[in-house]
């Protein structure tokens, strides 16, 4: 109980402290509210602009959801394909790195040209930045299956499908989960970047508010985008715990 | 007619890509139903030889035949590793059923056979535990159960109890010997422990690191039925002494 109180109490205390200092600094006029709006103003923007922010948040959540789903399914399938055939791995893996290195800001305008304004361009942008961590982590996981266990499967003449389903994929889950945490955060960033130009969602609200010099609204939107990322990563943590709690040290419960 | 598989190795060699040759022109015969110990210092190629017998590695040269006297229809070989190597995401029962699952047995048959061997190794009450909840000795018992569930004709063990504490190890040695007396399969047991080899095997094959081949073969004079008291038998002491002095010569 005491530990629990510390674990919840201390972050809350730290939060209150930071917010109070921030609020006083701006109110005392040490920093202009034009540059850094005080927390109370961000809060009131959240309340006043809620109808608009809520619509935008729903759109962004939808785009992030679709692109994350695509990244996970396409990423895992691609990794299995790369793993199954050495030829495919040698031929294509160097190009998958392209997804990691492409400057998304630079190609976002292209995406709008190709997919038009709106959700499709946003999904494409979020997918491009979030798929690589899934491919890379799944591939690492598949390649790290224990050699002794591979021998065991070989000894009992397991088929390729049996080995994949009963050995390689389960061994990869801890790696995949790690990849998904990174991918989830990136999907939100990729979506916001796409929305800057795509004209929908939270990204678009930020873009317009900035032009109108509504810095408080920018902050409120950024807060919502961060909350969305946090929610996604926490859900992945939950799934990870559920899948690994019985067997992987990373999720082992204290006994 | 014997249940076990025989092993005929003629002038087999194994050369690694690095040029290292842990096994060179080695020949030996193992009769069906025999319990053999491969004894030797670390790095003498014992495990390599075992992997070849299992078919996990092909000899670079020579012929190695594992089978029944008259053209075997189906060969059931099991392998126990240095550590338990259980699938950590599966419960004990599901770990033991794995080999039968891969061989395509029905669920009812799998679970019936798995429970039978779990009963035999004394872990029937732990069938729904995860490996992480078991001690080292228990994990090794599950691993042993997994190897026995297919009713193997040839059981290969690669220093299976080396990582366990002494009491557990002595117990498992005893259980393995008893299991063999019941099941009558061929057993090849790799170890670097002289007393373990002397207690378990009917024949002890000593491997030499220098020649990468067999240094000596010894038939065990001890009776078939062995117990903890066997270790106090004068024949046991003599045998271990003899093995020990040869071990030293090999190392010299």
- Cβ-contact B67, B232 below 8 angstroms: no
- CATH number of the domain encompassing residue A60: 1.10.3720.10
Q: Is B31 exposed, middle or buried (CB count within 10 Å of its CB: 0-12, 13-18, 19+)? A: middle
The per-residue pLDDT for B163 is 86
Is residue B1, in this structure, part of any structural domain at all?
Answer: no
Considering only alpha carbons, which residue of chain B is nearest residue A152? Answer: B79
- Cβ of B56 within 8 Å of Cβ of A170? The answer is no
Q: Which of B133, B151, B169 is the last residue before a domain boundary?
A: B151
In A, which residues are within 8 Å of B98 by CB distance? 156, 166
Q: Which of B151, B176, B203 is the last residue before a domain boundary?
A: B151
pTM above 0.90, yes or no: no
CA distance B202 to B174: 14
pLDDT tier at A2, thresholds 50, 70, 90: low
Say if residue A1's pLDDT is above 80. no
- Cβ of A247 within 8 Å of Cβ of B130? The answer is yes
- Cβ-contact B175, B167 below 8 angstroms: no
**A157 contact B CB<8A:** yes
Say if residue B81's pLDDT is above 90. yes
CA distance B153 to chain A (A): 14
Of A102-106, A208-212, B175-179, the one with minimum mean pLDDT is A102-106
CA distance A87 to A242: 36
- CATH number of the domain encompassing residue B228: 3.40.50.300
**One domain for residues B246 and B124:** no
Is residue B71, in this structure, part of any structural domain at all?
Answer: yes
Is residue B81, in this structure, part of any structural domain at all?
Answer: no
Say if residue B72's pLDDT is above 60. no
**One domain for residues B71 and B139:** no
By Cβ distance, the residue of B77, B87, B88 closest to A155 is B77
Residue B5 has what DSSP assignment?
P
CA distance A86 to chain B (A): 20
**One domain for residues A23 and A133:** no
Say if residue A255's pLDDT is above 50. no
**One domain for residues A84 and A16:** no
In A, which residues are within 8 Å of B56 by CB distance? 151, 154-155
Structure token digits, residue B90: 């599966």
Tens of pLDDT along A142-200? 999 999 999 999 999 999 999 999 999 999 999 999 999 999 999 999 999 999 998 89
Tens of pLDDT along B205-240? 998 887 888 888 888 888 888 888 888 888 999 999
**One domain for residues B130 and B174:** no
**One domain for residues A89 and A209:** yes
Question: In chain A, which ranges are continuous DSSP H helix?
Answer: 2-27, 39-48, 50-84, 86-101, 104-115, 119-143, 147-155, 160-163, 169-198, 201-211, 215-244
What is the extent of the structural domain holding B45?
6-76+153-251
The per-residue pLDDT for B143 is 96
- Cβ of B103 within 8 Å of Cβ of A155? The answer is no
Q: What is the three-class DSSP state of B149?
A: coil
By Cβ distance, the residue of A148, A158, A247 closest to B102 is A158
In A, which residues are within 8 Å of B58 by CB distance? none
Considering only alpha carbons, which residue of chain A is nearest residue B100? Answer: A156
Q: How many domains does the structure of chain B reveal?
A: 2
**One domain for residues B204 and B242:** yes
The residue among B203 and B42 whose pLDDT is bigger is: B203
Considering only alpha carbons, which residue of chain A is nearest residue B146? Answer: A152
pLDDT tier at B90, thresholds 50, 70, 90: very high
**One domain for residues B65 and B162:** yes
Other C-beta atoms closer than 10 Å to the C-beta of A233 total: 17
- Cβ-contact B28, B213 below 8 angstroms: no
The per-residue pLDDT for B209 is 80
pLDDT tier at A18, thresholds 50, 70, 90: very high
The per-residue pLDDT for A237 is 94
Tens of pLDDT along B112-145? 999 999 999 999 999 999 999 999 999 999 999 9
pLDDT tier at B20, thresholds 50, 70, 90: confident
- Cβ of B79 within 8 Å of Cβ of A152? The answer is yes
CA distance B26 to B38: 13
**One domain for residues A94 and A50:** yes
In B, which residues are within 8 Å of A247 by CB distance? 88-89, 130-132
**One domain for residues A2 and A78:** no
CA distance B238 to B236: 5
The residue among A222 and A98 whose pLDDT is bigger is: A222
Q: Supply the DSSP string of A114-125, one letter for each residue.
A: HH-TTHHHHHHH
CA distance A227 to B95: 42
The per-residue pLDDT for B1 is 41
pLDDT tier at B73, thresholds 50, 70, 90: low
Structure token digits, residue B120: 């035999």
The residue among B196 and B44 whose pLDDT is bigger is: B196
Of A35-44, A68-77, A109-118, B225-234, give the range with the top mean pLDDT: A68-77
Q: What is the three-class DSSP state of B25?
A: strand
Q: What is the three-class DSSP state of A111?
A: helix
**One domain for residues A25 and A44:** no
The mean pLDDT value for B156-178 works out to 91
Phi, psi of B61 (to 5 degrees): -150, 165
ipTM for this model: 0.89
A interface test, pick of B54, B78, B88 with most A CB neighbours within 10 Å:
B88
What is the extent of the structural domain holding A12?
1-36
**One domain for residues B72 and B171:** yes
The per-residue pLDDT for B69 is 57
Q: How many domains does the structure of chain A reveal?
A: 2
**One domain for residues B236 and B166:** yes
């Amino acid at each position: 109980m005491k530990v629990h109180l510390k674990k919840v109490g201390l972050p809350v205390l730290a939060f209150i402290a930071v917010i109070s200092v921030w609020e006083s600094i701006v109110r005392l006029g040490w920093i202009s509210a034009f540059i850094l709006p005080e927390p109370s103003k961000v809060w009131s923007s959240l309340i006043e602009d809620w109808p608009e922010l809520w619509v935008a948040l729903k759109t962004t959540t939808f785009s992030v959801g679709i692109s994350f789903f695509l990244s996970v399914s396409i990423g895992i399938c691609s990794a299995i394909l790369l793993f199954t055939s050495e030829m495919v791995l040698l031929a294509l893996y160097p190009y998958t790195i392209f997804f990691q290195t492409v400057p998304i800001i630079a190609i976002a305008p292209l995406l709008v040209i190709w997919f038009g304004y709106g959700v499709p361009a946003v999904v494409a942008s979020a997918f491009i930045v979030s798929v690589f961590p899934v491919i890379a982590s799944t591939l690492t996981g598949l390649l790290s299956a224990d050699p002794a266990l591979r021998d065991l499967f070989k000894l009992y003449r397991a088929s390729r499908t049996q080995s994949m389903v009963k050995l390689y994929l389960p061994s990869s889950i801890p790696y995949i989960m790690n990849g998904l945490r990174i991918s989830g955060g990136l999907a939100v960033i990729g979506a916001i970047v796409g929305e800057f130009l795509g004209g929908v969602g939270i990204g678009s609200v930020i873009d317009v508010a900035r032009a109108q010099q509504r810095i408080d609204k920018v902050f409120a939107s950024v807060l919502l985008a961060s909350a969305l990322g946090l929610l996604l990563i926490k859900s992945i943590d939950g799934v990870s715990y559920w899948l690994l709690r019985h067997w992987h040290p990373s999720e082992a419960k204290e006994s | 007619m014997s249940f076990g598989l025989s092993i005929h190795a003629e002038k087999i060699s194994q050369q690694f890509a690095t040029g290292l040759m842990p096994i060179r022109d080695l020949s030996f015969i193992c009769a069906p139903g025999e319990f053999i110990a491969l004894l030797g210092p670390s790095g003498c190629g014992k495990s390599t030889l075992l992997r070849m017998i299992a078919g996990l590695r092909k000899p670079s040269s020579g012929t190695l035949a594992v089978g029944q006297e008259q053209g075997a229809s189906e060969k059931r070989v099991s392998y126990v590793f240095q550590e338990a190597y259980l699938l950590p995401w599966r419960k004990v029962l599901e770990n033991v059923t794995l080999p039968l699952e891969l061989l395509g047995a029905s669920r009812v048959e799998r679970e019936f056979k798995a429970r039978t061997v779990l009963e035999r190794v004394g872990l029937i009450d732990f069938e729904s535990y995860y490996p992480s909840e078991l001690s080292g000795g228990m994990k090794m018992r599950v691993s042993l159960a997994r190897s026995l569930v297919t009713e193997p004709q040839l059981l290969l063990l690669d220093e299976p109890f080396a990582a366990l504490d002494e009491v557990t190890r002595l117990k498992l040695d005893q259980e393995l010997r008893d299991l063999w007396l019941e099941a009558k399969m061929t057993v090849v047991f790799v170890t670097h422990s002289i007393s373990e080899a002397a207690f378990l095997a009917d024949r002890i094959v000593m491997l030499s690191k220098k020649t990468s081949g067999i240094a000596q073969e010894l038939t065990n004079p001890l009776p078939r039925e062995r117990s903890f008291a066997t270790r106090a038998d004068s024949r046991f002491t003599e045998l271990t002494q003899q093995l020990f002095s040869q071990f030293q010569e090999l190392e010299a």
